[in-house]
């Protein structure tokens, strides 16, 4: 598979449900031009690790918004499944969940487990020009860190050289 980081993000168009679970909408990569986008895939609705990540990112949504970033979650489930989950056990969110029912987007982003028909836990930070600046992929049973995603977003936004464990306010390398 070719690398994605540093390249134009593969275009996408997916059906989604709004975070309040009330409406359906279409989401496209172009919707996020001019903003940072944190797009993360999770394996399936109504599972165990997934809701911890989704609600974790939702709780920190204002922190991402303050950095000029939007969040988009996606899985191979239908938008109807997402809506039922939001209006059931998951609860309201601050961002939409997209449906990659065709598995095209997961395939384009290199995270589809073909033999199982589900996506790995892939997370991508896409810059305002549509270029992928960060990618991390986890196995199915390990959740991601919201703090680390936010730290990396802030580091990318500096445009500078950020040493190990760099955090906001730390000096950049010359």
Instruction: Characterise 34 by phi-psi region: left (phi > 0), alpha (psi -120 to 50), beta (else).
Output: left
50 is catalytic: yes
Residues in CB range of 124: below 8 A, 6 or more apart:
4, 9, 37, 38, 39, 40, 109, 132, 134, 135
How many helical (H) and strand (E) elements, i.e. helices and strands, does the chain have?
A: 5, 9
What is the rounded distance in angstroms from the CA atom of residue 92 to the CA atom of residue 71?
A: 14
Catalytic residue among 14, 38, 50, 123: 50
What is the rounded distance in angstroms from the CA atom of residue 24 to the CA atom of residue 30?
A: 18
Nearest Cα residue to 86 out of 71, 104, 76, 98: 98
Which residues are known to be catalytic?
50
């Amino acid at each position: 598979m070719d690398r994605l980081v540093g390249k134009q993000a593969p275009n996408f168009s997916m059906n989604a449900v709004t975070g309040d679970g009330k409406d359906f909408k279409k989401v496209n990569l172009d919707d996020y031009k001019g903003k940072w986008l944190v797009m993360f895939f999770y394996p399936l609705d109504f599972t165990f690790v997934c809701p911890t990540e989704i609600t974790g990112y939702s709780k920190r949504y204002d922190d991402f918004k303050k950095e000029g970033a939007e969040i988009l979650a996606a899985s191979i489930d239908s938008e109807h499944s997402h809506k039922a989950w939001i209006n059931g056990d998951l609860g309201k969110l601050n961002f939409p969940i997209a449906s990659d029912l065709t598995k095209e987007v997961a395939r384009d982003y290199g995270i589809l487990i073909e033999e199982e028909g589900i996506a790995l836990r892939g997370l991508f930070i896409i810059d305002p020009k549509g270029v992928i600046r960060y990618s991390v992929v986890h196995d199915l049973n390990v959740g991601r860190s919201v703090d680390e995603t936010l730290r990396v977003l802030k580091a990318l936004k500096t445009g500078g050289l950020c040493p190990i464990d760099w955090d906001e306010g730390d000096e950049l390398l010359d």
